[in-house]
Amino acid sequence: MQQDFLSPAEQLVTDGSIRNSLHWISILMRLSIGTLFLCAALVKTPLSIPGIIAYYSSLLDKSLLPAFLVKIHAALILFFEFGLALWLFSGWQLRLAWKIAGILLISMAIGMIFAGKYDVASANYIYVFLCTVGLFASEFDRWVVRYSNYQRVTNGSNPAHGEA
């Protein structure tokens, strides 16, 4: 007899209305942070990669951050922002998407601290908090792209595909 094990989050949430609320919280977090990344990327797009690198370099020229790190981050940020926006919108592997989004936002907050823009850094840490809310609520999100993980039975057949 197989026992069903509940994750810690599922143990706390047994009421259907709470599960539904957490589903909608996850959707709103995906839309909020996804549009944040998408709009940030769209605003940077006219600058092109060399323009973004020049802007970041001028912003952080007197900081303690090594110039090569600033240039690498600046060259990749546009791709990460577009990619994370699409990833969050798709719902595929949300837990991983939220973790990567949080790490990216922390890296941008650290850059803003070194640039002396403490208000922007503070806002980025609020976005990191929103990523943690999204991470928690993602378990209850029903609008996701899931992949199938078929398990083979001992004789090598797969009942899911009608094999016997």
Write down the pLDDT at residue 160: 41
Write down the pLDDT at residue 146: 77
- For 158, what's the count of Cα atoms within 13 Å in the CB-facing half-sphere? 7
Write down the pLDDT at residue 153: 43
d(CA 92, CA 25): 17
Write down the pLDDT at residue 121: 97
Structure-token pair, residue 140: 């209850």
Residue 91: left (phi > 0), alpha (psi -120 to 50), or beta? left
Write down the pLDDT at residue 149: 59
**Taking the chain, what is the end-to-end CA distance rounded to the nearest angstrom?**
22
Write down the pLDDT at residue 17: 84
10-residue mean pLDDT series, the chain (164 residues): 62 74 96 98 97 96 94 97 98 97 98 96 98 96 78 44 42
> In the chain, what are the domain boundaries?
15-145
Specify whether the CB–CB gap between 89 and 30 falls below 8 A.
Answer: yes
Closest to 84 (Cα-Cα) out of 96, 72, 101? 101
